[in-house]
Structure 1
Amino acid sequence: MFKTADGHTLELAPWRMRRFMRLVAEARRTPPGMTSRTITQDMQILLRRARRVAADPQRKIARFESSGACCRACFLARKKRDAMEVVALSVAPGAHLYEDELDELEMELEVERSANVALTWKHYKTLAGAAANTSGIGVYILMRGSRPIYVGKSMDLGERLGKHRLYARQHDSGLNVWIANTPLASDAAAVEHVLVRALRTRVTNRKLKVALIVGKNGLRIDNVLPPGIASPKAPGKLVDLAAGRTFELAP
């Protein structure tokens, strides 16, 4: 727990503290030889200098802003017992904080998902073939050659992939695609989020590179990734987490 400049207590979960450290290191553009102790000191300064600047009564979330260390930061926090639990954070280089710049930063607000599904992946060499032969609810991974570039979900995979095909034709991009149907739209949303988190920087999705909190029905996804799409940070074939857990990958 940390006391802010205006007397509030901010509490960060251990996994979010680790994320905070990574974001500070990235904002600092950590030079060779810099110790983790230096980065930790920057984190502590940012937390101690944070001030509450706004609140959303409906969502019961307050916004804190901080600057003056190696970078600037924003925290969203929710009331929890006698402290404010940080539920989102954003960090950017620079000594000063400006509202218009901060609004452009990607906030890391967690999303709650549940699913219990075994995926059966199908591969199509072209978007035309995928659009013509698929339907229903599901998820897809757009590929350029053997490299995943985008993860998506849809209530109608054929229609959605048809739109991707038009876009690809306009930009002269030869793409192939992996597809897996899911029974429910909520399953597709959970699988999409897990895939984006698993593939991380390999795909262009931005909004779903956020924390995934397991919902009350748990999160079990069998055969998470299609064959041949390997990633050192990706989970194994099975994700199986209880309610309240966080789907977090090693740095």
Structure 2
Amino acid sequence: MIVVPAHLRPWAVPWPAYSPVDITPPELHAGPGLAVSVAEGWAEPCTDPAGLPDLADRQAAALIPYAIDVDGWPLNPAGRTGKTGRNLGRWGENTAADPIVTAGTGLERRVLLIRRGDCGHWAIPGGMVEPGETAPAALVRELREETGVDLAGLAPVVLARMLVADPRESDHAWVATTAALYQLTEPVTATAGDDADDAAWLPFTSLTALTRALDGFGARLYDAHRPLLSRALAHIGGRDA
């Protein structure tokens, strides 16, 4: 990946020499690998976004507005990333839902996180919104699938609809999420499931306290979720430092 200087990130700024690196993995190129990924349900079959018949509809329904370039390819609203192609299931916006679940108050406050199976980092138990699914439904489903906790009867507070600095993003495929906060009076039993390797209630008085707790057993926080957890702390009166 090439490093993109901040002043050259906006698409409106000319950069004739820009040559992003293609990060498309083999399983998302045409062939048997792509067929398997499509059959597994996480990837769409199209290898050229200009050929997507519903691209205009996707653009209109996006959480974060974005443009389409002269070749018919969607452009990451955050600007140039130094990467082209896709390492996500869909071209353009990949819509996610991230349920942030806390329990307790003050020094006893905890947050429910899962250890991701793909990278081993601790993260919010969220995931992608499925075709035809609403964000509220995805929040409940992802939480139940990854932790066994069912909060279908509890209305969350929507904290943000925002871009996520996902390490898989590129100029033409990225993640935008609906982050919502569920507040419980005390922790409930959580068991890792789906693509989570573990689930636990961790200290959540501040991001520093959370990071320190993870450091204690040689783990780390998923960096893309720091801004979302910071939003939650700001809402409930905690500290993000």
Q: TM-score, normalised by structure 1?
A: 0.29
**More RCO (CA 8 Å, sep 6+):** 2
- Where is the strand percentage greater, Structure 1 or Structure 2? 1
Larger Rg: 1
